[in-house]
Amino acid sequence: MDVRDLVREDIKKLIPYEPHDYPDVIKLDANENPHTFPEIVIREIFERLSGDTFTRYPDPGGRELKAKISELIKTEADNVVLGNGSDELIQLIMQTFGGPGKRVVIPVPTFSMYKIHGQITGTQPVEVPRNEDFSLNTELLLTEMNNPDTRVTFIATPNNPTGNSVPLSQIEALVRETGSLVVVDEAYIDFGGETALPLLSKYPNLIILRTFSKVSLAGLRVGYLAAHKDVTRELLKVKQPYNVNAFSQLAAAVVLDNWNAFLQQIEEIVSERTRLQEELAKIPGIENHPSDANFILFKVPQSPGELHQGLVEDGLLVRNSPGSTHGLDKCLRVTVGTRQENDLFLEKLKNRLIP
């Protein structure tokens, strides 16, 4: 017997998302915060820990954390759903609204998990190419969004891996002119772009997706979404009851209580992004794209795979073939690091370029 014969045909064909593990490198590949987690926040998390945090199941409703989030984004706790990272929420949305015979619309290039969770849930991914400058092709998008089988569209703003954001007026036009759900993924909103939160009370088909991963808690996996209660009620039926563990719930609540401690780090990342952009623009052969996020996409004049490997040998990890590859075959993506990391990256990059 070959157990592989038992696997769903579509899963057999699935190309998985594979995070790469390179030991002993400076990680500029996963859009994490390069700065040290603030000491006062760690101390408060540990002060608030108790034995119960470990022995008891977590609060399935995540009440304390949801109360803080809803205060922050000026909505009600029932409008919020917590996730084990926003990846889990992408899957939850697809499990609840997708499925065989349904379609999910994805403006590409973008974050690859939208397509993967579409495929895992048997939903047909419909990829709509962005314009050459990576802005949205709204006409094409609306045609696909208004197909009667479309249930969900994912729009990342700022977009990964291109870095550009979508004007709020354009988001509103899309949400207003379609009857399907629009997920606005704001994973990088702390670094730039306009939030779609003001639209939340107006449109029941809007879902805003957020994560703690890019500024504070990538290792603890906490994300959330905000949407109309008719949406959150259905999502909660599908969600695993204990999806966000007690330690992560507690840590995220403390992070929100101490958000000021992260503001300086965000400012530093944004100012380093500007400096990195200016320095990249001076390097002959490199074409860098504008970014509102904590990373920069840049086109290279030689094989990106070889350049990536060369940088790994120099102790630096950047992202090769970022996102679904459409139009990005000559590109690499670098996360904005600390000033020293960025200097090292620029130096090594220059050394690796073939004259």
The binding site for ligand PMP (CB under 6 A) comprises: 31, 85-87, 111, 156, 160, 185, 187, 211, 213, 218, 223
What's the min distance (Å) between Cβ of 4 and ligand PMP?
29
Percent helix, strand and coil across the chain, each rounded to 5? 45, 15, 40
Closest residue to ligand PMP using C-beta atoms: 85
Neighbouring-strand partners of residue 80:
226
Q: How far is the CB of 222 from ligand PMP (least distance, A)?
A: 7
In the complex with ligand PMP, the residue whose CB is nearer, 213 or 324, is 213
- Cβ-based nearer residue to ligand PMP, 58 or 163: 163
DSSP state of 199: G
Q: Give Dmax over CA atoms of the chain in angstroms.
A: 61
Of 305, 306, 317, give the one whose Cα is nearest residue 19. Answer: 317
Residue with tokens 């702390």: 190
Query: Which tokens is 141 given?
Result: 């998008």
Distance of closest approach, residue 159 Cβ to ligand PMP, in angstroms:
7
- Output the CA torsion sign for 230, 235, 236, 237: positive
Angle, helix 246-257 to helix 39-48, in steps of 10 degrees: 130
At its nearest, how many Å lie between ligand PMP and the CB of residue 187?
Answer: 4
Nearer to ligand PMP, 308 or 352 (CB): 308
Of 29 and 352, CB closest to ligand PMP: 29
**C-beta closer to ligand PMP: residue 203 or 224:** 224
Query: In angstroms, what is the minimal distance from the CB of 213 to ligand PMP?
Result: 3
Q: Cβ of residue 22: shortest distance to ligand PMP, in angstroms?
A: 17
Residue placing its CB nearer to ligand PMP in the complex, 82 or 300:
82
CB atoms within 10 A of CB 291: 27
Name the amino acid, one letter, at 275: R
Quote the CA–CA distance of 203 and 197 in Å, as a whole number.
11
